[in-house]
Amino acid sequence: MSSDQPIPSMETDLQEQEQIRRQKLAELQRAGRDPFEQVTWPVSHHSSEIISQFEALEGQTVQIAGRLMSKRGMGKVSFCDLADRTGRIQLFTKIDKLGESAYAEWQKLDLGDLVGIEGEVFRTQRGEISVKTARYELLAKALRPLPEKYHGLKDKDTRYRQRYLDLIVNPDVRETFIRRSRIISAIRQVLDRRDFIEVETPILNAIPGGAAARPFITHHNALDVDLYLRIAPELYLKRLIVGGFERVYEIGRQFRNEGLSIKHNPEFTLLELYQAYTDYQGMMTLTEDLLSAAALAVGESLEVEYQGQAINLKPPFRRLSMNQAILEYAGIDFSMISDAQSARQAALAAGLDDLEPKLSRDEIMNACFEAFCEEKLIQPTFIYDYPLELSPLTKKKPGQPQLTERFELFIGGREFANAYSELNDPIDQRERFAMQAAKRAAGDEEANLTDEDFCQALEYGMPPTGGLGVGIDRVVMLLTDSASIRDVLLFPTMKPLQ
């Protein structure tokens, strides 16, 4: 090759492949065999069924459909692998079975093309269960080539942006999302058996409430008002408890205008539920039941492995108050500390020296818990009795009004659930909202806004209620051994390409 002759690049090769595929499509269309015209193909079986039921199906004619993933043989006999939603199966195609013309067209098919196959189930001389092609139909032409066989699609950014391609070439990814569906279904079954009603609440909110988070803002043109994407469905669901439903839940998207990480995505899926006439202790038992049911829906044991750590989800889970946890892991007893200055000194002595200057005693306590305790909570652990300032929607603990009846569940060093004995005193609720308003006026953009209609709802009377929120994405991460939240979201939020 002369020095001035250009070396073909991978991009040039791909462009040539795409051009050849488009030429093949044009030839089919000129011949009146446009694969994109409406064509139906009745599917009698899927690949996994044929393999698992081979003894019953051997010698029978089946109709299958899927994507061509490999081709072998260029003479009078060829082999292909066809992938459908349940797996792969080999196709055996002979010229004398199809006829010369149909076989010639078969040989022109490309990897990625979608085909319908009718043929006999048999086992080859090498023992592989296969379908002997008797008739086929090209159902859709792939105009772009799939990733190269031996390297596949491994770049994570490309996988997340082009999830459809990820699902085609990485079967284990598809299995992750099948498991996600089973997990959510198992959770619904537990709640439905307990007479919970599944409901839907507004995503567009006039006031973002139910959590401490920065919201997304949008504008409604007809009403000429700014609205917020919900950060939690809590206040609407508790309105339904006031209305007499007693047991309600919602599994839906929440939106928080915050950073991205392996644990956070700006939109995520949350299970939130409320049950009248119980408290946060009842929510602990329900949480255990939900997680164990989810684990058994995708596995045979309550013992799972997550990122090299063995996790046992068998109830009952360990229970520690927040103060007990800090005392155990940091040696600080906050029951003996009543002011911010003493709390700061204790935190500094324990090695926490990056505290913001205006933090309160309760905020410093929470900072100590996050710094010294969270990552050590590997086995499922309920951390309960949170400080009042951190829980504006939670009932005070009887006899200890500086604490609230709240817990969070930690597994593998991460938070999975948050639950309350719900505050149902409308006077106390207004006072809590006033405290939050003061924090917002001081610059805290995540502090709760006052929801006047919710306060009015409480004034009509809400029964004692337990509430629970469970991060569905994190549960799926745990039960599929996925390191990043992006691995369990079909379409994670990505920065647009320039």
- The confidence score (pLDDT) of residue 121 equals 98
Which residue type sits at 257? N
pLDDT at 150: 45
322-330 and 361-372 are packed helices; what angle lies between their axes, rounded to 10 degrees?
60
> Is the pLDDT assigned to residue 3 strictly greater than 50?
no
Percent of the chain exceeding pLDDT 90 equals: 85
Contact in structure between 21 and 35 (CB atoms under 8 Å): no
For residue 397, what is the enclosing H or E element?
strand 396-397
**pTM beyond 0.85:** yes
| Residues ≥6 apart with Cβ < 8 Å to 451 | 207, 209, 235, 433
CB 174 within 8 A of CB 167: yes
- Per-residue pLDDT tens for 298-340? 999 999 999 999 999 999 999 999 999 999 999 999 999 999 9
Q: What is the pLDDT of residue 59?
A: 98
pLDDT tens string 479-490: 999 999 999 999
**Predicted confidence band of residue 112 (pLDDT cuts 50, 70, 90):** very high
Cα–Cα nearest to 313, from 373, 381, 364, 245: 381
pLDDT at 152: 60
Lowest mean pLDDT among 6-15, 237-246, 366-375: 6-15
Q: Residue 1: pLDDT above 50?
A: no
- Return d(Cα 2, Cα 4) in angstroms, integer: 5
**Mean pLDDT estimate for the chain:** 94
Which has more pLDDT, 110 or 435? Answer: 110
